[in-house]
Amino acid sequence: MSTSAHPSADAIRTAGTVTDRLVEANERYAADFTDPGMDARPVLRVAVVACMDARLDLHAALGLELGDCHTIRNAGGVVTDDVIRSLTISQRALGTRSVMLVHHTNCGLESLTEDFRHELEDEVGQRPAWAVEAFRDVDQDVRQSMQRVRTSPFLLHSDDVRGFVFDVTSGLLREIDPAESAPVDPA
């Protein structure tokens, strides 16, 4: 998606809600839409798990086309129970064999803590059932996510699981070695 497509704040306010604008864009899209004749099985047999950050244009960054992969996104690109659920369906029902994990630099989860859940509980009177999954070291979090995929009993294919950090300023991926560990503090 091109950043030049972004309307000004005034245009959004005068044209209705952002959702109205998106629905209108869909109507223009559908007017020229032709069914590509695909099914839900990704051509490349890969599932990509990534952060939901709006700066990541995964298809462009990875050279992917419509139908190439399953894309699973959440805050941080963290492998949670719901990601395992989606990967299990992706593998067992829809034929994927590879998993690519994409975290990124300057992630918002690096500035949060689990206190976020407690603050929510104070505000609304109920603690969320989910963990924030905040982290301080993006490389180590990628390693943890790779380990969660590799050790899940529900996944059939855990031999081709690779993790990366996307640099939001250069657009480059940096692969994370799953065997490396965080440096030990000698103190």
The mean pLDDT values, 10 residues at a time, for the chain of 187 residues are 52 73 95 91 98 96 97 97 98 98 96 92 93 95 97 96 98 93 53
pLDDT at position 154: 98
pLDDT at position 10: 53
pLDDT at position 180: 77
- Lookup result for tokens 């300023």: 169
pLDDT at position 179: 86
pLDDT at position 104: 97
pLDDT at position 167: 97
- Alpha-carbon distance of 84 to 18, in angstroms, equals 31
pLDDT at position 9: 54
pLDDT at position 8: 57
How many angstroms from the chain centroid is the CA of residue 106?
Answer: 14
Residues 6+ apart with CB under 8 A from 127: 117, 118, 120, 121
Q: Is 81 helix (H, G, I), strand (E, B) or coil?
A: helix
CB 88, CB 157: distance < 8 Å: no
pLDDT at position 183: 52
pLDDT at position 11: 54
- Stated pTM of the model: 0.85
